[in-house]
Structure 1
Amino acid sequence: MEEPPGNRWAAIAGDDHGARYAARFADLAASGADVHGEAHFCAALLAPGSRVLDAGCGTGRVAIRLAELGHECTGVDADASMLAQARSRAPAMTWIQADLVTADRLDLRPDFDMVVAAGNVIPLLAPTTEPAVVAALAALLRPGGLLVAGFGLDAAHLPLDDAPVTLADYDNWCADAGLALATRAATWDGAPYTGGGYAVSVHRRD
């Protein structure tokens, strides 16, 4: 199998980014901040005991919280440093190291109720692989399943100098993969999207 090109995340992350990322959110939680907005947004869309794939799961924050809420969760990420944190926090859960462009070729049943890509996963993919990743994730959904993705649309909401993905781009990739837009929010709290630099999109598989 041809090796996928390096993603934008790998180009900006440091050597100990997994530990630093986990520590950042631990500090936020200790301060009383709600660090589970993504998981709670997703849980509101799910029936009890749903199957969820956390695509670009990082340290597992979203998947672990959804599992605590009663869902069956699997995490996939290309970053070994981030996955080490996830495995240390929830060793009994399934964590897979793989590039998302190969997601439809992993040993996963294609009947997930939801695939969630939080944390700017889409704009941090390797350039030119975005349509293939969206198609691979869509292929893992059951009919009626949801793809939920939140990401920045400008430099102020990204760890990049500019935004490589527009909403029009993303909606087109989803449409090509057999997904239709169900709803779009401005934040993980569910505020309506009326424009701006960040969006949470929910697409449904036909």
Structure 2
Amino acid sequence: MVETSLWMQKVAADPGHSRWYIERFRAMARAGDDLVGEARFVDAMAARGSHILDAGCGPGRVGGYLASVGHHVVGVDVDPTLIEAAEQDHPGPRWLVDDLAELDLSARGITDQFDIIVSAGNVMTFVAPSTRVQVLTRLRAHLKPDGRAVIGFGAGRDYEYSQFLDDAAHAGLTPDLLLSTWDVRPFSDDSDFLVALLKPA
């Protein structure tokens, strides 16, 4: 049995957590805040009409933007409330409720592998620690041989960058480029954020 994600543990402790998260981003969008920096980054590295998996898509801000500029997007999140919001706010992509640790999109009739897999918004720090390698392995299984996985998360979230890179290696992924921000600044030992572009080993 797969351990419950840290996100769903938060939801269990506070049933209003998902709705708060959704409304927070809706308010930011109404205020004109820039919510698509990660998506612009992915779009810049993607050929037109790429097949992109938004892994841990939340309410859909990244995948929604990528679909709006012409990519074929599938978004997956473990939280059905977030997926419902994604369907409402960002029609176009295929939004699915699923656990990344058990992800098998072929069972949903999606047999194509992806050019790019993006996991923004600290997703890797919300999966259950015991499933981290399993999650990365499932992402690797859905990636084209020449594809890239783009994973970003902040420091201070109980997941050291060195451990993440070791876990990625165990999952069959190797770094292609490491950055410290979504606006393409170099990664260094004292960076407080990591954007890792990974390729199949």
Does structure 1 residue 192 correspond to structure 2 residue 186?
yes
Per-residue deviation at 1:110? 4.7
Aligned with 1:47: secondary structure? coil
Instruction: Tell me what 1:95 maps to.
Output: 95
Please state if 1:177 is matched with 2:171: yes
Identity score, percent: 35
Equivalent residue of 2:162, what SS?
helix
Q: Which amino acid aligns with 1:8?
A: L
Q: 2:200 aligns with which of 196, 199, 205?
A: 205
What is the CA–CA distance in structure 1 between the aligned matches of 2:200 and 2:144, rounded to whole Å? Answer: 7
Answer yes or no: is the 8 Å Cα contact 1:110–1:139 preserved in 2.
Answer: no
Paired with 1:110 and 1:128, the residues of 2 have a C-alpha distance of 28
Is the Cα contact below 8 Å between 1:39 and 1:65 reproduced in 2?
yes
Helix, strand or coil at the partner of 2:177: strand
Q: Is the 8 A contact 1:18 1:59 kept in 2?
A: no
Q: Which shifted more, 66-75 or 11-20?
A: 11-20
1:5 matched residue in structure 2: 3
Matched letter for residue 147 of structure 2: G
Deviations 1:79-116 (A, max 9, x none): 01111101112344311111101113643325100111
Q: Is the 8 A contact 1:38 1:188 kept in 2?
A: yes
Match of residue 29 from structure 2: 29
Q: Distance in 2 between matches of 1:109 and 1:172?
A: 28
For 2:98 and 2:78, the matched residues in 1 are separated by 5
Q: 3-state DSSP class of the match of 1:143?
A: strand
Code of the residue aligned with 2:113 in structure 1: it is D
Root-mean-square deviation over aligned CA pairs: 1.6
Partner deviation per Cα, 1:164-185 (whole Å, 9 max, x = no partner): 2111111112222222201111
List gaps (5 residues or longer) in structure 1.
155-162
Contact kept in structure 2, 1:100 and 1:136, CA below 8 Å: yes
Which structure features the higher share of helix residues? 2
3-state SS of the aligned residue for 2:104? helix
TM-fit CA distance, 1:15: 2.0
CA distance in 2, matches of 1:166, 1:125: 14
Q: Could you tell me how far 1:62 is from its partner in structure 2?
A: 0.5
How has the CA–CA distance of structure 1 residues 186 and 67 changed in structure 2, closer, same or farther, with 3 Å as cutoff? same
1:18 is matched with 18
> In the comparison of the two structures, how many residue pairs are matched?
196
Q: Could you tell me which runs of 5 or more consecutive residues in structure 2 were left unpaired when the two chains were aligned.
A: none
Map 1:1-206 → 2, pairs under 5 A: 2=1, 4-13=2-11, 14-104=14-104, 106-107=107-108, 108-154=110-156, 163-194=157-188, 195-206=190-201
Deviates more, 1:67-76 or 1:181-190: 181-190
Check conservation: 2:63, 2:93, Cα contact below 8 A. Answer: no
Question: TM-score normalized by structure 1?
Answer: 0.88
